[in-house]
A and B are shown apart, each in its own frame.
Chain A
């Protein structure tokens, strides 16, 4: 098909939106970046002793599994190409699955709060026993849960990956450029300029430096997918596609507010105002919000709500729905044997920040 070398039309962008802004493994997207992580993993792996485990503990949706699968496919790890990772839930249920994993290094993914704590602990314990018995090694991928010794403590000899490049604007640009090239430009290395499709300010908004370690590709790409799917904002025509900050704001503003209960809506409105006044453009939110700080805001709205109720009915739901990003290490209750989920500190999500910034 004959296509302009540079101009991307709305029609083309709409057609390829799931592929360009993919955040799961439904589409084969090109790998980009993470050179430091790769170098460190290679080094850790080369020096890994029998029974030891490399821990990759980063937030959900940041590309950990993609990185390891990429390294397996490029033969940077001594894991047979195309081997499917095991998950703690399965290992917990049947430790014999470990025997079927080929090679000396076992890859375990999804060691995160998406797995019930009991099953996660069981799975990790079975893995630890197996490593002790066989002298094999492992790479365990999960979220900040793995920082919790109650969860991952069974793995006695752990080495933790330190380098995991944050999603800054250069990283995002590189990822997007590769994807545009693959899905819309026939893989040809043209003079394609990302700025001709996405307003530079939008890229900056999506990658604030204060959010470096809390940001996720999932968050960014789900927002961009939603924008391109908005038929009012992006018309199906042959005009040049151009995504802007204002468009995202318009989309978020026209989103129905039906997804929140009244107390949640009131709190969000108050929080937006608070962010705008105290942390314009997010400046200064370096450590995120504590529960105490947020509860103080709630007290200004309604002093009858207790802190437990506030955490259960407002904070947790906002964290699950993505308006707040929980960056704390999930706790583990020894009484209930369950996670204490989505703990503080919290950061405002990209959506919340964009809305707060326009007040």
Chain B
């Protein structure tokens, strides 16, 4: 594995490791882990005084009885850091083969060592391999769920020598997410699925995901009919939710529109009945229409007597819980766009559903554009349509605004007059992302929400974390690929850096983990896939 330094010098992993000097293998690992942790800390702008160092050692080396004097010796021995004037500092005079190694080069090198699979030799082929590995991993997880007798994919996965599933309960968003994801792998499957057994396995995977996505739909007559339950993703949910419904609708429509190709690849072995999918999608859209607020936005759910005249949730509404949010509003636009493009409405001659979906898109888009926040780069979206940028974590802003910016494709096709506006929004966001990344790239953002219990929203707050690189990177590249926005040199640099960080984070098994954990996570893997695919498309355009 080679690491390219800023001045073009290339050193390999071996020569890098040798510089660490420890002769004992166990010490080498400890030394390496300490260097990684110290680099991350200093990179995050934290001051590393002697006590912070002690805490870092305690947090980093949990499986070895390491004394602090020894930890200091190991770090000092490497030569990369030294303790001076009460602080640990990076040794800017450190040289490899006579060349000074800047902190930024060192950071790239040391953080890039974490997983064997990633290297900085990330040419197009290795990005393609990375993408294919993520699809293979997803197939593997679904096969495991089938073998375990589950009725879908669970929310949590575990990464050991080989990955496995945690728990025995099904997540209502992971299952359709996997279905959508695998529908995107058509050309890869065309290339790799050859034998009868491979065809049967792939068909079983699609049949399983389709069947269990459909099983998450609410079939009770009434207000919730047609919505999809999140199940273990939000254990407290007692109603279908907007996020689960949107993801399921997109999965069913993705499958419907890719069905011919997938059936061809698998010799028609996937068990899928068109009428059932069509009916489910129509019912899902009807549910979405009931969930839309009079002003046009969406929140996680809308109780039947919640709005406008209802008073059940007055207090929660005052606290902002029941208000529309950016994530639900944007995901509906994507779901309605995918539904329109699936061909279902034509097949069943329900042409009025084009208008129904278009109306939802139009009103949602209007709601979004009426609730932007002004920043120095232009207009973006803050979590829960906040107005003051300084009140939010920049990682949260990036994922919030990035998600909104990725939903504009259906609007682009539906409302031509809005195209200049869309180009402006996405350009503003690209500039904002670039500016934030200059200070510190690779931020983690979160989406916080509560789920609908029987009569009120849950006490438990759900806190979903994402890598802003993936979300923002995809949004910007999509705008470049589809809307033709121009990107500055600095913005390309931000994209390149984000791509490097994303590749670095992939595990050798093919998945990406939930941020700040070692747990494989499907949604993060899909986000990485989307970003890297958009990156490859952009390079062709470029």
Interface residues of A (CB under 8 A from B): 1, 11-12, 14-16, 18-19, 26-28, 72-74, 80-82, 84, 100, 113-118, 183-184, 229, 258-261, 264, 312-314, 316-318, 320-321, 323, 336, 338-339, 341
Inter-chain contacts of A116 with B (CB < 8 A):
49, 51-52, 55
| Cβ-defined contact, A339 with B51, below 8 A | yes
CB-contacts of B145-180 with A (<8 A): 148-151, 156, 158, 160, 164-169
Inter-chain contacts of A84 with B (CB < 8 A):
461
Please pick, from A82, A183, A261, A312, the residue contacting B461 in the complex, using a CB distance under 8 A. A82
CA distance A232 to B120 in the complex (A): 38
| Cβ-defined contact, B51 with A316, below 8 A | no
Chain B nearest Cβ from A328, distance in angstroms? 16
Chain B nearest Cβ from A296, distance in angstroms? 20
Instruction: Tell me, yes or no, whether B220 is within 8 Å of chain A by CB.
Output: no
| Cβ-defined contact, A1 with B168, below 8 A | yes
Inter-chain contacts of A114 with B (CB < 8 A):
55, 58-59
| Cβ-defined contact, B26 with A258, below 8 A | yes
CA distance A318 to B67 in the complex (A): 9
Residue of B whose beta carbon sits closest to that of A184:
B168
CA distance A323 to B26 in the complex (A): 19
Residue of B whose beta carbon sits closest to that of A73:
B459
Inter-chain contacts of B236 with A (CB < 8 A):
28
Please pick, from A27, A82, A320, the residue contacting B450 in the complex, using a CB distance under 8 A. A82
Inter-chain contacts of A258 with B (CB < 8 A):
26
Inter-chain contacts of B517 with A (CB < 8 A):
26
Could you write out 25 A-B pairs with CB less than 8 Å apart?
A: A11-B148, A15-B166, A16-B166, A19-B166, A73-B460, A80-B319, A116-B52, A116-B55, A117-B51, A183-B168, A184-B168, A259-B63, A260-B64, A260-B65, A261-B70, A312-B68, A313-B67, A313-B70, A316-B68, A317-B66, A320-B66, A321-B62, A321-B66, A336-B51, A341-B54
Given A81-B459, A312-B68, A317-B65: A18 in contact with B158 (beta carbons within 8 A): yes
Inter-chain contacts of A339 with B (CB < 8 A):
51
Chain A nearest Cβ from B385, distance in angstroms? 18
Closest 10 CB pairs of A and B: A73-B459, A317-B65, A82-B461, A321-B65, A116-B51, A338-B51, A313-B67, A317-B67, A81-B459, A259-B64
| Cβ-defined contact, A338 with B167, below 8 A | no
Given A82-B460, A338-B51: A1 in contact with B149 (beta carbons within 8 A): yes
Given A16-B167, A184-B168: A323 in contact with B51 (beta carbons within 8 A): no
CA distance A16 to B165 in the complex (A): 9
Interface of B is mostly: loop
Chain A nearest Cβ from B184, distance in angstroms? 29
Instruction: Tell me, yes or no, whether B50 is within 8 Å of chain A by CB.
Output: yes
| Cβ-defined contact, B69 with A313, below 8 A | yes
Chain B residues bordering chain A, tally (CB within 8 A): 41
Chain A nearest Cβ from B231, distance in angstroms? 13
Please pick, from B65, B150, B168, the residue contacting A261 in the complex, using a CB distance under 8 A. B65
CA distance A19 to B461 in the complex (A): 18
| Cβ-defined contact, A15 with B168, below 8 A | yes
Instruction: Tell me, yes or no, whether B484 is within 8 Å of chain A by CB.
Output: no
| Cβ-defined contact, A318 with B166, below 8 A | no
Instruction: Tell me, yes or no, whether B235 is within 8 Å of chain A by CB.
Output: yes
Residue of A whose beta carbon sits closest to that of B232:
A28
CA distance A81 to B64 in the complex (A): 40
Residue of B whose beta carbon sits closest to that of A116:
B51
CA distance A208 to B65 in the complex (A): 25
Chain B nearest Cβ from A289, distance in angstroms? 17
Inter-chain contacts of B68 with A (CB < 8 A):
312, 316
| Cβ-defined contact, A28 with B65, below 8 A | no
CB-contacts of B24-59 with A (<8 A): 26, 49-52, 54-55, 58-59
Chain A nearest Cβ from B454, distance in angstroms? 15
CA distance A1 to B231 in the complex (A): 14
Inter-chain contacts of B63 with A (CB < 8 A):
259, 321
CA distance A320 to B235 in the complex (A): 35
Residue of B whose beta carbon sits closest to that of A72:
B459
CA distance A80 to B319 in the complex (A): 9
CA distance A16 to B150 in the complex (A): 13
Inter-chain contacts of B164 with A (CB < 8 A):
14-15
Counting chain A CB atoms within 10 Å of each CB, the highest count among B26, B151, B166 belongs to: B166
Residue of A whose beta carbon sits closest to that of B450:
A82
Chain B nearest Cβ from A341, distance in angstroms? 7
Inter-chain contacts of B169 with A (CB < 8 A):
183
Residue of A whose beta carbon sits closest to that of B236:
A28
| Cβ-defined contact, B65 with A259, below 8 A | yes
Inter-chain contacts of B450 with A (CB < 8 A):
82
Inter-chain contacts of A317 with B (CB < 8 A):
65-67
Residue of B whose beta carbon sits closest to that of A261:
B65
Inter-chain contacts of A341 with B (CB < 8 A):
54
CA distance A127 to B236 in the complex (A): 34
Given A73-B459, A338-B51: A18 in contact with B166 (beta carbons within 8 A): yes
B59-103 to A contact mask, C-beta < 8 Å, 1/0: 100111111111000000000000000000000000000000000
Chain A nearest Cβ from B174, distance in angstroms? 15
Residue of A whose beta carbon sits closest to that of B170:
A1
CA distance A119 to B39 in the complex (A): 21
Counting chain B CB atoms within 10 Å of each CB, the highest count among A19, A118, A314 belongs to: A19
CA distance A37 to B62 in the complex (A): 31
Inter-chain contacts of B69 with A (CB < 8 A):
312-313
Chain B nearest Cβ from A304, distance in angstroms? 17
| Cβ-defined contact, A338 with B67, below 8 A | no
CB-contacts of B310-337 with A (<8 A): 319
Please pick, from A1, A14, A229, A323, the residue contacting B65 in the complex, using a CB distance under 8 A. A323
Residue of A whose beta carbon sits closest to that of B168:
A15
Given A118-B51, A312-B69: A28 in contact with B460 (beta carbons within 8 A): yes
Residue of B whose beta carbon sits closest to that of A12:
B168
Residue of B whose beta carbon sits closest to that of A83:
B461
CA distance A316 to B69 in the complex (A): 11
CA distance A135 to B63 in the complex (A): 45
Inter-chain contacts of A323 with B (CB < 8 A):
65
